[in-house]
Every structure is written in C-alpha cells, then in structure tokens.
A and B are shown apart, each in its own frame.
Chain A
Amino acid sequence: NFMLTQPHSVSESPGKTVTISCTRSSGSIASKYVQWYQQRPGSAPTTVIFETNQRPSGIPDRFSGSIDSSSNSASLTISGLKTEDEADYYCQSYDSTYQVFGGGTKLTVL
C-alpha cells in the first residue's frame, strides 16, 4: 500500500496564503482523486476539497486543491487566511480496495 506524507505543522499570518503538501510514496498521485479534510479541535472532520480540486457547497473559494506530478504531490492552498482556518488538515486518497489518509498538518494562523 502507498502512504501519504504531510508536514506536521505550518504557520502563517492572517491575510496571507499557505500551501500544505501531501506526497504519495508510490504510484502516481494523478491515478486517483485526492481529498482534503479540515478538523477543528473537538469537532468531526469536514470536507474542504474533493476530487483533487472541487469544493463542496459552502466552502469558500479561498480553498483550492491541485496536484504536481513532478513531485508526486497534492497541495491544499488557502488564501486570505483567517483565524477560523486554524485547524488540522488531512489529505486522503485510495486504491481499489483501501483508503489512505495522510498524517495531518496542524495549521496555525498567528
């Protein structure tokens, strides 16, 4: 099975832009869709990006997803950072018989 590796933490100031990476260990990142989930402390996860670059209704366009085949990575970019964006973010992908979650990235907005 492949793994998804994320940085443990990132921090940025309000109003700035931050990018969180998610690197696939084997197989092409482009072979299956990548999803991103936001989890605030004490709450269940919510979906912020699905199918690599699609936003569910209600998610602002400050959130965007992409992939980079050269680095075999997916990225979540959040622009115009707000203090409410402070949370853990997880990437997820899958194969035909299993799902894989990244280890999560703690985003601090300070």
Chain B
Amino acid sequence: EVQLVESGGGLVKPGGSLRLSCAASGFTFSNYAMSWVRQAPGRGLEWVSFITDSAGSTYYADSVRGRFTISRDNSKNTLYLQMHSLRAEDTAVYYCAKGKGMIVASWGQGTLVTVSS
C-alpha cells in the first residue's frame, strides 16, 4: 500500500524558512516522479513543484519559483520542500503526491504551514 507521510509544517513568521519532508513507503520511490500541491484555507488545490524520479529535472509554479526548492533522497525514500522568504499567502496545507510523470496518482495526508506574525 502506498503511504506518503508529510512532516515539518508549523507556524513561521513572514520572511522565515521551513523545510517539509515526505516519507514514502509501499512502492519503489526511485522509480516515480513526485509533486507538492498545496491548498490554502477554504480554497482549491494549487500545484507547487515537481521533481523527476532521478531528480534530473525540477519545475515550479510562478508563485514560488526562486523561493522554494524541491529535492529528494532516493536512498531514504524521502521528498523535501525547502521554503524560504515565506509570505502570508503561502499559508496552506501542503500535500506530497506520487506521480506517473505529471499525473498525480496518490496523495499524502498533508501538513499545515501557517505564515503569520
């Protein structure tokens, strides 16, 4: 069974940094692309970032490019999202997602990031 468990969320001040992690199990992590998708309170889903299976390519939404960095450690079956220069509008539940390329197939339960002074 695919399991994706996010961690690292919390309360951070504007301008601060946070690193999210996603521990994957139940599948061969190194064979799959992964994505981060977020959902602001009461809003819809928003794609944040994507990384290929080998980490050879990464892509970002315009709203986070230059502030967020996606990475992965295939030896630890873990996906990361390093977030810098956080803004109030980054407040959201962040979901880790297993992909078939750009197709999101499985979702984690999410971790809440709150940016507030």
Binding site for B on A (CB under 8 A): 32-33, 35, 37, 39, 44-47, 50-51, 56, 88, 90, 92, 94-104
Cβ B107 vs Cβ A46 within 8 A: yes
Cα–Cα distance between A56 and B107 once the two chains are bound (Å): 13
B109 at interface by CB-CB < 8 Å: yes
* With known contacts A45-B95, A97-B59, A99-B50, A104–B103 Cβ distance under 8 A: no
Q: Interface digits, B92-110 against A, CB 8 Å rule (1 contact, 0 not)? A: 0001000011111111111
Nearest chain A CB to B96 CB, angstrom units = 10
Cβ B47 vs Cβ A99 within 8 A: yes
Cα–Cα distance between A45 and B44 once the two chains are bound (Å): 11
Q: Which residues does chain A contribute within 8 Å of B104, judged by CB atoms?
A: 35, 37, 47, 92, 99
Binding site for A on B (CB under 8 A): 35, 37, 44-47, 50, 59, 61, 95, 100-110
* With known contacts A97-B59, A98-B59, A98-B61, A90–B103 Cβ distance under 8 A: no
Closest B residue by C-beta to A99: B47
Cα–Cα distance between A33 and B106 once the two chains are bound (Å): 16
Interface CB pairs A-B, < 8 A, 6? A39-B45, A94-B102, A94-B103, A95-B102, A98-B50, A104-B45
Cβ B44 vs Cβ A100 within 8 A: no
Cβ B103 vs Cβ A51 within 8 A: yes
Cα–Cα distance between A101 and B43 once the two chains are bound (Å): 12
Closest B residue by C-beta to A102: B44
Cβ A100 vs Cβ B45 within 8 A: no
Nearest chain B CB to A107 CB, angstrom units = 14
Cβ B45 vs Cβ A44 within 8 A: no
Partner of A47, one of B59, B95, B105: B105
* With known contacts A45-B95, A50-B100, A94-B102, A100–B47 Cβ distance under 8 A: yes
Q: Which residues does chain B contribute within 8 Å of A92, judged by CB atoms?
A: 45, 103-104
Q: Which residues does chain A contribute within 8 Å of B102, judged by CB atoms?
A: 32, 94-96, 99
Beyond A44-B108, A45-B107, A101-B46, 5 additional pairs, beta carbon < 8 A: A37-B107, A44-B95, A51-B103, A98-B61, A101-B44
